[in-house]
């Protein structure tokens, strides 16, 4: 009893260390510069396309980070993550669409709805499939994803089927709203939505980071690394897995609300389809599993690639006119995603941030060794 109060636990020491270097770490400056770029972006570059890409990067960074919480920190491979994202997007769209006129309170209602539905669904999924084997979860989640997709595609009365739902946002987020200029940029609904999404996704991301660094996050990592040992230490690993799964899914559904707000339109293929799921998976793997910040890199890579790939296709068609096979190959961009997928998994399994961290750690070690030697 006495020793407990006297000695700080390892967790406390690590936290104390983190707190001490909080304002001097280089990572902090990277984060601040990134945030400044995102804030100043639309004011400096008034192109809609750039703003579109930046917004999608922010939203998908949150989706990928919440997926990383489940995949990289808990070690569960879910294929239904985008399903929760889609549930969020659809709850935003349907709340506005079915109530006719958009009102400001629709946004919190949609968020509450998204959190509720996806939370219940995530708990149900976890309870059914996490009891047995991790791989069961993968299969069950794939089945769930397909089921929700079919629901979105065929429940025509509710979701308008594959035609999708388009809706307008209330008040200052409406496309029609505009109020002069601010710092040289047109102050309109788009800009307001952009900043709303910026604030919301930064908050969600911080929430994920705090979750991972909390005591619960530590237990999750221990479950991932050695489940039997964590069980032996007295942790109910099943509960922790369910918790992480539910938290990740809820964050993804909130990101889905943001995505629907940005597009003003949802349809099954754009928010529920398996290709979207593969994109998110690829983002996490490219960025680096179990790093959270990697998902920003991954999201940026994929979104930029997706935005400029059509130009590349046009270039390919210009260079090889008349070669039908080349044109057909250029059209199939998922093919290159598949190849990238395999190459990354085989040759680059730690992703961008994971590899960078390895390199930095190795250099620090080398420096420390050299100092040690010269000190002698």
Partner 1 sequence: MTTQTATAGLQEQGGTDFKKVGVWIASVGIWFLPLLWIDPTTYAVLTVAGLAMGMLIFLTASGLTLIFGLMDVLNLAHGAFFVWGAYVGFSLLNALQQVGWVEGAGAAQSIGSVLLCLLAALVVGGLMGIVLEKMLVRLTYGSHLKQILITMGASLILVEILKVVWSPNDEVVMVPAAFQGSWDIMDVIITKFRVVAIVVGLVVLGGIQLVMMRTKLGIIVRAGVENKEVVETLGYNIRRVFTGVFCAGAALAAVGGTMWSIFKEQIHPAMGEENLIFALIVVIIGGMGSVTGSFLGAIMVGLAFNYVAYTLPPLALGANIMIMAVILLIRPTGLMGKE
Q: Please report, as ranges, the residues that interact with partner 1 according to CB under 8 A.
A: 71, 75, 77, 128-129, 131-132, 134-136, 138-140, 142-144, 146-147, 150-151, 154-155, 238, 274, 278, 281, 285, 325, 328-329, 332, 334-335, 337-339, 341-342, 345-346, 349
Least CB distance from residue 128 to partner 1, whole Å?
6
Least CB distance from residue 151 to partner 1, whole Å?
8
CB closer to partner 1, 8 vs 349: 349
CB closer to partner 1, 169 vs 223: 223
CB closer to partner 1, 213 vs 221: 221
Least CB distance from residue 165 to partner 1, whole Å?
18
CB closer to partner 1, 18 vs 139: 139
- Residue 99, CA atoms < 13 Å, CB-side half-sphere: 18
Least CB distance from residue 343 to partner 1, whole Å?
9
- For 50, counting Cβ atoms within 10 Å of its Cβ (0-12 exposed, 13-18 middle, 19+ buried), the class is middle
Least CB distance from residue 235 to partner 1, whole Å?
12
What are the phi and psi torsion angles at 45 (to 5°)? -105, 100
What is the spatial distance between Cα 250 and Cα 66, in angstroms, rounded to a whole number? 9
Least CB distance from residue 24 to partner 1, whole Å?
36
315: which residues sit within 8 A by CB, 6+ positions away?
Answer: none
Least CB distance from residue 335 to partner 1, whole Å?
4
Least CB distance from residue 317 to partner 1, whole Å?
15
CB closer to partner 1, 102 vs 140: 140
CB closer to partner 1, 190 vs 224: 224
CB closer to partner 1, 256 vs 273: 273
CB closer to partner 1, 18 vs 150: 150
| CB contact at 8 A, 283 and 305 | no
């Amino acid at each position: 009893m006495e020793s407990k109060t006297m000695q700080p636990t390892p967790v406390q020491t690590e936290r104390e260390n983190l707190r001490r270097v909080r304002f001097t770490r280089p990572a902090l400056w990277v984060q601040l510069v990134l945030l400044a770029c995102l804030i100043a972006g639309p004011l400096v570059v008034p192109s809609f396309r750039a703003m579109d890409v930046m917004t999608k990067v922010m939203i998908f960074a949150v989706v990928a980070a919440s997926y990383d919480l489940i995949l990289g920190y808990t070690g569960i491979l879910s294929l239904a993550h985008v399903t929760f994202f889609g549930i969020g997007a659809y709850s935003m769209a349907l709340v506005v669409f079915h109530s006719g006129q958009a009102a400001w309170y629709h946004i919190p209602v949609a968020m509450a709805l998204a959190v509720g539905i996806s939370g219940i669904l995530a708990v149900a999924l976890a309870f059914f499939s996490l009891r047995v084997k991790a791989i069961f979860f993968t299969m069950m989640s794939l089945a769930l994803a397909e089921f929700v997709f079919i629901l979105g595609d065929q429940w025509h009365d509710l979701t308008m089927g594959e035609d999708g739902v388009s809706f307008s946002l209330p008040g200052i987020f409406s496309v029609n709203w505009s109020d002069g200029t601010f710092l040289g940029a047109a102050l309109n609904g788009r800009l307001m939505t952009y900043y709303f999404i910026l604030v919301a996704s930064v908050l969600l991301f911080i929430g994920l980071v705090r979750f991972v660094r909390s005591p619960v996050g530590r237990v999750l990592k221990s479950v991932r690394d050695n489940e039997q040992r964590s069980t032996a230490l007295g942790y109910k690993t099943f509960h922790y897995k369910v918790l992480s799964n539910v938290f990740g899914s809820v964050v993804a559904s909130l990101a889905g609300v943001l995505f629907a707000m940005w597009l003003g339109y949802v349809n099954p293929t754009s928010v529920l389809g398996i290709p979207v799921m593969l994109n998110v998976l690829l983002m996490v793997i490219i960025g680096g599993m179990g790093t959270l910040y990697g998902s920003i890199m991954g999201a940026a890579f994929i979104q930029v690639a997706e935005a400029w790939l059509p130009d590349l296709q046009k270039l390919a068609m210009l260079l090889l006119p008349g070669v039908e096979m080349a044109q057909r190959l250029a059209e199939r961009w998922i093919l290159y995603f598949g190849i990238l997928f395999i190459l990354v998994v085989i040759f680059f399994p730690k992703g961008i941030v994971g590899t960078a961290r390895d390199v930095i750690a190795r250099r620090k070690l080398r420096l420390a060794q050299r100092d040690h030697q010269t000190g002698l």
